[in-house]
Chains A and B, each alone.
Chain A
Amino acid sequence: MAIEIEQPRVGLSKVAVSKTHGEDSPYFAGWKAYDENPYHETSNQSGVIQMGLAENQVSFDLLEKYLEEHSEASSWGKGAPGFRENALFQDYHGLKSFRQAMASFMEQIRGGRAKFDPDRIVLTAGATAANELLTFILADPGDALLIPTPYYPGFDRDLRWRTGVNIVPIHCDSSNNFQITPEAMEAAYQSADSMNLKVRGILITNPSNPLGATIQRSALEQILDFAVNKNIHLVSDEIYSGSTFSSSEFISIAEILETRGYKDAERVHIVYSLSKDLGLPGFRVGTIYSYNDQVVTTARRMSSFTLISSQTQHLLACMLSNKEFSENYIKTNRERLSKRYDMIIKGLKKAGIECLKGNAGLFCWMNLSPLLEKPTRESELALWKVILNEVKLNISPGSSCHCSEPGWFRVCFANMSEQTLEIALERIHKFMEQRKRN
């Protein structure tokens, strides 16, 4: 009888088997529940309503109208030249026309208060790739980035997984509306230091995800001063900059640099994307804007791993360079988001729920701490499960955003029709009524 020798299984890397992708967290578990039983207006009215995905679906019609009227954007015109060059174009510099359109779009969003040089724009397939790429460039394995809490759960994966870099949180709390303070930044820095972690940068999201609020000018000045003082980098993720409800309330780090005459700019890098402001996450369009030449050059080369399809660049270059379209889009999108925000805040208030005062983004930051049995993470997760399984709403628990205060939840409102939002609010209302009775 032959002796069976068990072949050792051919092994995989630590990166491949690590859990740093973070997809076992509640943030993603909720999505699974939604995938298995998605709400539908007519065919599945008792399904789970997705309020955990920050997508903007309120302005599709504006995009469709543009494409309807401008067929040259989605084709290459009659004859070879346009298409041939486009199909062969794999230059990591990116289409010049597209970079120019992006620069001009970013300027428009900031009301012309900051200028952007198209040659400093590096294109990536989404902001996810942009954030990871910057982390590879600014930090070595084992180093640390400081990030204010609560933050986007995806950062744990995007910034840490392949890069080997650590995140050290800057704790913010409701006592001052979760604003970032110099004391909190210093505490985080010292904490990193005591763990022998070399801090390479601070990463802020402005407007903030999940708070749905812009960072104030004074705080931005303090953050920049802190970065200068510690000689570290400052990454400002401004992917929601076009989703502020009023154009004047958003202040970009670019404006702060402008007023300082671009002193200390070589440590500042801005991440942008069209996934939120233009509602086109499927297109995979992200950018890194850096004031540091070495970073621009390196990021450009590294973008080979994450280039945007030239076809998409061509389409968007046409669209975004059309000033009439882009101005109207930015204005209308803001109005609609603002309206949605008002709607959800009113609805929640009627149900007896307070939210953090917000002025941007596709979500609101809801305070359910009065409902917690105990002010603990476990209680928060228990409440989250109830809302997911009984109320059939997928919202994101603050703990998955590393919020130090239990009881806060992020609720997205722009990825559904108004009718669906009404239904979600009704469900919440019913739920709160039931609670009161018990």
Chain B
Amino acid sequence: MTQTRYSRSRSSDTEKENTGGGGGAAMRVIVPLQGVVQGRGGLVLGSIIPCALFYFLQFYLKRHRNDLDDQNNSNSPGLNSTTGSASSGKLAELPALTRNLSRGLPSPRSPRGPVSVSGRVSGIVKGADSPYYVGLRRVKEDPYDELSNPNGIIQLGLAENKLSLDLVNHWLAENAEQVILRNGKELSISRIATYQPFDGLMEFKVAVAGFMSQVTAKAVSFDPSQVVLTAGATPAIEILSFCLADVGNAFLVPTPCYPGYDRDVKWRTGVEIIHVPCRSADDFNLSIAALDRAFNQAKKRGLKVRGIIISNPSNPVGNLLSRGTLYSLLDFAREKNIHIVSNEILAGSTHGNEEFVSIAEIMDLDDVDRKRVHLVYGLSKDLSLPGFRVGVIYSHNEEVLAAAKKLTRFSTISSPTQCLLISMLSDAKFVQTFITINRERLQRTYALFVAGLKKLGIKCIKSSGGFYCWADMSGLIRSYSEKGELELWDKLLNIAKVNVTPGSCCHCIEPGWFCFCFATLTEKDIPIVTDRIQKVSETCKLN
């Protein structure tokens, strides 16, 4: 077992050193204090101890005044009666206070208190009230349906692509059962039932590597032996966080960013995120200067930065990183000796005329820097199969691969799904057709939706990939603040009945930006959405 950060052995030594009632009582304050300083004990001790010391000080001052009076009256109840020196006399006051204190502290030994859970639980309970999750819940309760629930809430807050599911479905209808169980022969479950390598079947890695190559228009050839498969991109990000950073370290993340990073990067790992804001003046493009500033500020605060996490195409804005920017990014990472994690999960969902350049192309060039670059991918977006849970970590760093492989035991892809997708992805004709048609449909829907918003006077940042329109609604918010933005979000959700994601969830520092996922809409839906938004925007303009 590795060294724990919160070693209690020191406190037991100090306990041995201080004999006497005063010392023991003092330890009951000092030990938890050490815990607070070291980060253990959390909120409870962190607030009780300072409060207790404050009250003690008041109490002491009061008592001291009383004692002076008492001494003057010659019958001293004796602050100083039990111990010799004034200082331990002070400590002798503590027993009365600390005994109350320790009863107040949640202790697993107390049969009265409820059995306690870890500090992690409270963290996520707070997060669940963010608009991102509230919106998702509301849509679940009251989902729009053209026929059965035309007044329901339209979902534009979940990055799903429904535009090309029919293509996948068609393939499955023809091939599924055959593939999963029969594999061209008689039905046999033993092939898929037994334990498989946790990081995925080699056949599936080959198929996925081939798919990734097609997605980048064959610009990159991905080596299956550098592929680690995970149950979705969510654990892929978390696994990389565990591998590349220690508790208390940090990653630089340009914003606006995917709201889920707060959970994926930070929750269980104890790693921090430092947001590096991008500006509308730059069309929210990445600025190396801003990264540099953030890195230096972190250093001053004593935070060790271990890497940068970028998305390309970016989520939610939809920008592509140019070749030049990728090179600058690599220079920056090299200079600071940190990692780069490139989340390219939307690489197959580009719909503009710009060329998509995967960081893998850059990785192919320089041997040394290969070790610091790691790619995350998945089939949830590009193949519209989020339910099947397929994520990828791609890296040339053997140590990272070795550690990541072991960690996939906690997030393995189900074997029947792997078998099904091996067949699907190996069907080159299907894959090519799918990628092309999917892109066309994304482009068309995007264009229609942006035009629809433009008619309402709402401008979007030009996006080249992904499922979002990143729209500037700052003209419609009452106060140019997060509060104003959330008020508008609320109106959109409850009056317009449209669930969109407010920019603050994506940690955007400029209020008023919203992201609309258009890939769940049919052409028919678009005017319905824009009409509903218009109703709300008119009331906003009137105010």
A residues with a Cβ closer than 8 A to B are 7-18, 20-21, 23, 53, 55, 57, 60, 63-64, 67-68, 71, 74-76, 78, 80, 83-84, 86-90, 125-126, 128-129, 132, 136-143, 157-158, 160, 162, 164, 166, 196-200, 228-233, 266-267, 279-285, 292, 294-295, 297-298, 301-302, 304-312, 315
Question: A125 and B410: CB pair below 8 A?
Answer: yes
B43 at the A/B interface (Cβ < 8 Å)? no
B104 at the A/B interface (Cβ < 8 Å)? no
- Residues of B contacting A266 in the complex (Cβ-Cβ under 8 angstroms): 114-115
Bound CA span A305–B403, Å: 17
Question: A126 and B1: CB pair below 8 A?
Answer: no
Question: B406 and A9: CB pair below 8 A?
Answer: no
Bound CA span A57–B173, Å: 30
Known contacts: A90-B389, A142-B40, A282-B192. The answer to whether A126 contacts B412 by CB under 8 A is: yes
Question: A141 and B6: CB pair below 8 A?
Answer: yes
The 8 closest A-B pairs by CB, nearest first: A310-B387, A282-B415, A196-B8, A16-B403, A309-B414, A142-B4, A312-B414, A309-B417
Question: B244 and A67: CB pair below 8 A?
Answer: no
Known contacts: A139-B118, A281-B194. The answer to whether A15 contacts B189 by CB under 8 A is: no
- Residues of B contacting A21 in the complex (Cβ-Cβ under 8 angstroms): 406
B245 at the A/B interface (Cβ < 8 Å)? yes
B residues with a Cβ closer than 8 A to A are 1-2, 4-9, 11-12, 40, 108-111, 113-121, 124-125, 128, 160, 162, 165-166, 168-169, 172-173, 176-177, 180-181, 187-190, 192-196, 231-232, 234-235, 238, 242-247, 249, 263-264, 267-270, 306, 334, 337-339, 368, 371-372, 380, 384-389, 399-400, 403, 406-407, 409-417, 420
Question: B172 and A20: CB pair below 8 A?
Answer: no
- Residues of A contacting B114 in the complex (Cβ-Cβ under 8 angstroms): 266
- Residues of B contacting A164 in the complex (Cβ-Cβ under 8 angstroms): 2, 4-5
Checking A57, A138, A142 against B6 with a beta-carbon cut-off of 8 angstroms, the contacting residue is A142
Question: B337 and A10: CB pair below 8 A?
Answer: yes
Question: A57 and B387: CB pair below 8 A?
Answer: no
Question: A283 and B415: CB pair below 8 A?
Answer: yes
Question: A16 and B2: CB pair below 8 A?
Answer: no
Question: B263 and A308: CB pair below 8 A?
Answer: no
Q: How far is the CB of A286 from chain B (nearest CB, A)?
A: 10
Question: B403 and A302: CB pair below 8 A?
Answer: no
Bound CA span A166–B188, Å: 42
Known contacts: A8-B337, A67-B189, A199-B108. The answer to whether A311 contacts B417 by CB under 8 A is: yes
Question: A9 and B371: CB pair below 8 A?
Answer: yes
Question: B118 and A308: CB pair below 8 A?
Answer: no
Question: A137 and B2: CB pair below 8 A?
Answer: no
Bound CA span A266–B113, Å: 12
Question: A229 and B111: CB pair below 8 A?
Answer: yes
- Residues of B contacting A83 in the complex (Cβ-Cβ under 8 angstroms): 165, 168-169, 172-173
User: Among B1, B115, B168, B231, which residue has the most Cβ atoms of chain A within 10 A?
Assistant: B115
Checking A74, A129, A141 against B180 with a beta-carbon cut-off of 8 angstroms, the contacting residue is A74
User: Among B1, B380, B417, which residue has the most Cβ atoms of chain A within 10 A?
Assistant: B1
- Residues of A contacting B109 in the complex (Cβ-Cβ under 8 angstroms): 230-231
Question: A137 and B121: CB pair below 8 A?
Answer: yes
- Residues of B contacting A9 in the complex (Cβ-Cβ under 8 angstroms): 371
- Residues of A contacting B180 in the complex (Cβ-Cβ under 8 angstroms): 74
Bound CA span A283–B8, Å: 42
- Residues of A contacting B372 in the complex (Cβ-Cβ under 8 angstroms): 10
Known contacts: A137-B118, A231-B111. The answer to whether A90 contacts B193 by CB under 8 A is: no
Known contacts: A63-B193, A284-B415. The answer to whether A301 contacts B410 by CB under 8 A is: no
Question: B195 and A282: CB pair below 8 A?
Answer: yes
Known contacts: A10-B339, A17-B399, A137-B118. The answer to whether A162 contacts B242 by CB under 8 A is: yes
Checking B2, B162, B196, B416 against A20 with a beta-carbon cut-off of 8 angstroms, the contacting residue is B2
- Residues of B contacting A64 in the complex (Cβ-Cβ under 8 angstroms): 181, 187-189
Question: A74 and B416: CB pair below 8 A?
Answer: yes
- Residues of A contacting B244 in the complex (Cβ-Cβ under 8 angstroms): 12-13, 16
Question: B117 and A137: CB pair below 8 A?
Answer: yes
Checking A17, A136, A139, A305 against B234 with a beta-carbon cut-off of 8 angstroms, the contacting residue is A305
Q: How far is the CB of A47 from chain B (nearest CB, A)?
A: 17
User: Among B165, B168, B232, B410, which residue has the most Cβ atoms of chain A within 10 A?
Assistant: B410
Bound CA span A185–B208, Å: 49
- Residues of B contacting A139 in the complex (Cβ-Cβ under 8 angstroms): 118
Bound CA span A120–B225, Å: 40
Checking B125, B193, B403 against A60 with a beta-carbon cut-off of 8 angstroms, the contacting residue is B193
- Residues of A contacting B177 in the complex (Cβ-Cβ under 8 angstroms): 71, 74-75
Question: B118 and A283: CB pair below 8 A?
Answer: no
Known contacts: A140-B40, A142-B5. The answer to whether A305 contacts B414 by CB under 8 A is: no
The contact sample of 6 A-B pairs, CB cut-off 8 A, is A88-B384, A125-B414, A142-B6, A232-B115, A281-B195, A294-B121
User: Among B109, B119, B192, which residue has the most Cβ atoms of chain A within 10 A?
Assistant: B109
Bound CA span A294–B116, Å: 10
Bound CA span A157–B5, Å: 19
- Residues of A contacting B187 in the complex (Cβ-Cβ under 8 angstroms): 64, 67-68
Question: B371 and A315: CB pair below 8 A?
Answer: no
Question: B242 and A16: CB pair below 8 A?
Answer: yes
- Residues of B contacting A132 in the complex (Cβ-Cβ under 8 angstroms): 410
Question: B4 and A13: CB pair below 8 A?
Answer: no
Checking B111, B117, B193, B406 against A281 with a beta-carbon cut-off of 8 angstroms, the contacting residue is B193
Question: B389 and A283: CB pair below 8 A?
Answer: no
- Residues of B contacting A229 in the complex (Cβ-Cβ under 8 angstroms): 111
Question: A284 and B414: CB pair below 8 A?
Answer: yes
Question: B173 and A12: CB pair below 8 A?
Answer: no
- Residues of A contacting B384 in the complex (Cβ-Cβ under 8 angstroms): 87-88
Checking B4, B5, B389 against A308 with a beta-carbon cut-off of 8 angstroms, the contacting residue is B389
- Taking A60-B193, A90-B387, A311-B416 as given, write out 13 further A-B residue pairs in contact, using a Cβ cutoff of 8 Å, ordered by the A residue number: A10-B339, A13-B246, A18-B2, A63-B189, A129-B409, A142-B5, A162-B410, A166-B4, A200-B118, A229-B111, A267-B115, A306-B231, A306-B235
Q: Considering only CB atoms, which chain B residue lies closest to A229 in the complex?
A: B111
- Residues of A contacting B8 in the complex (Cβ-Cβ under 8 angstroms): 142, 196-197
- Residues of B contacting A197 in the complex (Cβ-Cβ under 8 angstroms): 8
Q: Considering only CB atoms, which chain B residue lies closest to A228 in the complex?
A: B111
Q: How far is the CB of B442 from chain A (nearest CB, A)?
A: 16
Question: B1 and A136: CB pair below 8 A?
Answer: no
Question: B193 and A138: CB pair below 8 A?
Answer: no
Q: Considering only CB atoms, which chain A residue lies closest to B173 in the complex?
A: A78
Bound CA span A280–B189, Å: 9
Question: B414 and A311: CB pair below 8 A?
Answer: yes
Question: B194 and A282: CB pair below 8 A?
Answer: yes
Question: A283 and B414: CB pair below 8 A?
Answer: yes
Bound CA span A330–B177, Å: 25
Q: Considering only CB atoms, which chain B residue lies closest to A81 in the complex?
A: B169
Bound CA span A196–B27, Å: 14
Bound CA span A86–B209, Å: 25
Bound CA span A143–B108, Å: 12
User: Among B113, B118, B125, B242, which residue has the most Cβ atoms of chain A within 10 A?
Assistant: B118
Bound CA span A60–B190, Å: 7
Bound CA span A17–B119, Å: 25
Bound CA span A141–B249, Å: 16
Question: A295 and B117: CB pair below 8 A?
Answer: yes
Q: Considering only CB atoms, which chain B residue lies closest to A18 in the complex?
A: B2
Question: B338 and A10: CB pair below 8 A?
Answer: yes
Q: Considering only CB atoms, which chain B residue lies closest to A133 in the complex?
A: B410
Bound CA span A302–B117, Å: 14
- Residues of A contacting B9 in the complex (Cβ-Cβ under 8 angstroms): 196
Known contacts: A230-B109, A280-B193, A312-B417. The answer to whether A67 contacts B2 by CB under 8 A is: no
Question: B415 and A84: CB pair below 8 A?
Answer: no
Bound CA span A311–B345, Å: 21
User: Among B177, B193, B380, B409, which residue has the most Cβ atoms of chain A within 10 A?
Assistant: B193
- Residues of B contacting A298 in the complex (Cβ-Cβ under 8 angstroms): 117, 120-121, 124-125
Question: B242 and A13: CB pair below 8 A?
Answer: yes
Known contacts: A14-B246, A125-B231, A266-B115. The answer to whether A304 contacts B169 by CB under 8 A is: no
Question: B238 and A166: CB pair below 8 A?
Answer: no
Q: How far is the CB of B235 from chain A (nearest CB, A)?
A: 5
Bound CA span A233–B267, Å: 22
